[in-house]
Amino acid sequence: MVEETKLFTRKEVKDNSSKDNVVIIYDNGVYNVTNYLTEHPGGEEILLEQNGEDATEVFNDIGHSSDARETMKKFKVGELVPRERTDKPKTNASNESSSEGGSFKLEDFKDWKYLLPTALTVLAVAYYMYYRLKSSNSTTN
């Protein structure tokens, strides 16, 4: 028997979620984690908070292991309808391509540690030259 993938809209996922039916969206898939609540190493509270929601970002942010991702497959009950899917998975990798257009990434600031000593050196030299000039001026007058 070939099982069809059940398709849900985001609204349906939300409307069908309740205390006894905990459903989350992850990477366009729909997962019923009701029977996993007490087993979840991260605690049931955090799953309940995401009930009916798209937990893709928060799931990825936590950095779940490949084991966790494997376990997750057991709870898949369907997928989002094609028109409501996100093209790009909301992983950290997708943020990297958004660096164009002048937005700053934390990595950019790593190079700033060189800027401070350089700026201080330039300032010290300028300060030294200024006083040398000033004192040579005052001796000539």
Among 64, 84, 90, 91, binds ligand HEM (CB under 6 A): 64
Interaction between residue 81 and ligand HEM (CB under 6 A): no
Contacts with ligand HEM by CB under 6 A: the residue count is: 21
Report which residue's Cβ sits closest to ligand HEM: 42
CA distance 19 to 23: 10
* Per-position b or e across 15-53, b if 16+ CB within 10 A of its CB: eebeeeebbbbbbbbbbbbbebeeeeeeeeeebeebbbb
Binding to ligand HEM, residues 83-102 (CB under 6 A): none
Q: How far is the CB of 66 from ligand HEM (least distance, A)?
A: 8
- The least distance separating ligand HEM from the CB of residue 91, rounded to whole angstroms, comes to 14
